[in-house]
Amino acid sequence: MGVLGSSSSSSLVVFLCLVLNIAVLCNGGTTSRYIRKLEEIEDMPLNSDVFKVPPGYNAPQQVHITQGDHEGSAVIVSWITPSKPGSNQVVYWSENSNKKKTAKGIVLTYKYYNYTSGYIHHCNISNLEFDTKYYYVVGSGKVARKFWFITPPKVGRDIPYTFGLIGDLGQTSASNSTLTHYENNPHNGKTVLYVGDLSYADKYPYYDNNRWDTWGRFVERNAAYQPWLFTVGNHDIDFNQAIGETIPFKPYTHRYHVPFKASGSTTPLWYSIKRASAYIIVLSSYSAVGRSTPQYYWLKAELEKVNRSETPWLIVFMHVPFYNSYVKHYMEGETMRVVYESWFVNHKVDVVFSGHAHAYERSERVSNTAYRITNGDCTPVKNQSAPVYITIGDGGNQEGIDKAMIEPQPDYSAFREPSFGHGIFDIKNRTHAHFSWHRNQDGYAKEADKKWFYNRVWHQVDEPSD
Ligand SMILES: [Fe+2]
């Protein structure tokens, strides 16, 4: 989708790509030397077509959906009406029956400094049939808007399913390119795991929340049709004491609802869902993680609940990576790693996705849990029970790419490249899944990095090394 209203839109394309794709081997894995010209990167202007307000007085906008329960038979539909509450109903029907049903939602508003939100609607539609296409309508009369979604298959251990990975997206022309590439990827992602940092509204004076609205309109073209599962990043905290805004995550928690109660969580900042053959645990990098904290207790109990006979694939995501060899944000994940890493290893978590570093990186299966304050034993070691850590904060926001890397490449780093793009985690069955990373400069089908995952519970053979 193009961007109107920007005479310099072509010059805003972040990378004029070239071309040399020389892999250089260092101490660790591969540092891709894909070379590009980096230009200034700015948010798309307010009159861009991707931000267009839908026509008609008080028409619903910023429509998005997410999973509404633990098993995948409910959907939360959210939208915003700008001028008055309007209808709080969602009318929906399955492709098979045409019998229309209605669900009622709630309406919220919030103020942030000198900004007042529109009317934010959240409606949980439950008792849906699995693996079924549903149509739904928000708004009424002349401004009724119709969308659709497909519910996941019933949870089961050999159910294939495809997740998309997007992080740190923001709202630049590069962000638009990332979303377009995801939409056109022939791997056909069905649900987005979004690893935090959504709108970057906090880059504006007074954290201008109008940029939360533009972001909501920008992603609607995908998020209204397939669930996006969110976690919080630092740009979603919106703590600004200078203007009296001291409630963390205020815009985020009003706008993006998640089914946290369904997993026994007491806060939307961490929760879990099952979807197809995956058990997905969402953590908060910006909440207390230490021993005896609420997140600690919840995660400890949560990991015990996972039944790998039912959901062979155990996925965790949070914003800040544990293993990241980019200079910016290097070792920021240590506070969480030292507390939770041994749990991830003991429970054979398959993969941990994070963002924060504006680049791509995939780790080896390593752990670093031997260290005690007296033994000095603090080197990551290869460990087939450990997760693969994938940093995918390369959505394309206005802060640009994080190019500076720790040199030489650490042993734990299997592949890294500072380019914008997205990922696909494609579960085939209980034993095999395929991950691919797609950079924005390439054709939609090209895999700039890839890895086969062997499920360590169901497949007792070590994965092939790169
Ligand atoms: Fe971040």
What's the average model confidence in pLDDT over 221-226?
98
Give residue 12's pLDDT band: very low, low, confident or very high (50, 70, 90). Answer: very low
Asked if residue 428 has pLDDT above 60, the reply is yes
The answer for residues whose C-beta is within 8 angstroms of residue 325's C-beta and 6 or more apart is 28, 361, 405, 406, 409, 410, 412, 413, 416
pTM: 0.93
Give residue 373's pLDDT band: very low, low, confident or very high (50, 70, 90). Answer: confident
Residue of 389 and 459 predicted with greater confidence? 389
Could you give the CA distance from residue 98 to residue 118 in angstroms, rounded to a whole number? 32
By DSSP bridging, strand 313-317 and strand 351-354 are parallel
* Least-confidence region, from 7-21, 122-136, 401-415: 7-21
pLDDT for the residue numbered 37: 57
User: Quick one: which of 75, 74, 53, 73 has its CA closest to 65?
Assistant: 75
Residue 463 CA to ligand 1 centre (angstroms): 31
pLDDT for the residue numbered 2: 40
What's the average model confidence in pLDDT over 52-71?
98
Could you give the CA distance from residue 334 to residue 342 in angstroms, rounded to a whole number? 13
* Least-confidence region, from 70-79, 290-299, 403-412, 453-462: 453-462
Residue 231 CA to ligand 1 centre (angstroms): 11
pLDDT for the residue numbered 5: 40
User: Quick one: which of 197, 153, 184, 158 has its CA closest to 319?
Assistant: 197
Which residues pair with residue 119 across a beta bridge? 81
Residue 245 DSSP label? B
Cβ < 5 A residues, ion ligand 1: 197, 233-234, 356
User: Which segments of 144-216 are extended strands (E)?
Assistant: 145-150, 161-166, 191-194
Contact 226, 163 (CB under 8 A): no
346 is written with which tokens? 């003991």
Asked if residue 410 has pLDDT above 70, the reply is yes
Give residue 459's pLDDT band: very low, low, confident or very high (50, 70, 90). Answer: confident
Q: Distance from first CA to last CA of the chain, Å, rounded?
A: 36
Which of 64, 235, 329, 347 is flagged as catalytic? 329
Asked if residue 460 has pLDDT above 90, the reply is no
Could you give the CA distance from residue 440 to residue 419 in angstroms, rounded to a whole number? 8
Rounded percentage of the chain residues whose pLDDT exceeds 90: 88
Give residue 40's pLDDT band: very low, low, confident or very high (50, 70, 90). Answer: low
Peptide linkage before 408 cis (omega within 30 of 0): yes
Could you give the CA distance from residue 51 to residue 448 in angstroms, rounded to a whole number? 30
Residue 319 CA to ligand 1 centre (angstroms): 7
Give residue 36's pLDDT band: very low, low, confident or very high (50, 70, 90). Answer: low
pLDDT for the residue numbered 41: 87
CB atoms within 10 A of CB 446: 13
Asked if residue 212 has pLDDT above 70, the reply is yes
Residue 357 CA to ligand 1 centre (angstroms): 7
pLDDT digits (tens, 9 = 90+) for 71-91: 999 999 999 999 999 999 999
To the query of whether residue 434 is one of the catalytic residues in this protein, the response is no
* H or E element, residue 16: strand 15-17
Helix pair 173-184, 210-223: axis angle to 10 deg: 20
Task: Calculate ∠ Cα 445-447-449, nearest 5°.
Answer: 170
Residue 201 CA to ligand 1 centre (angstroms): 13
Q: Look over the chain and give the mean of its residue pLDDT values, rounded to a whole number.
A: 93
Query: What is the three-class DSSP state of 325?
Result: coil
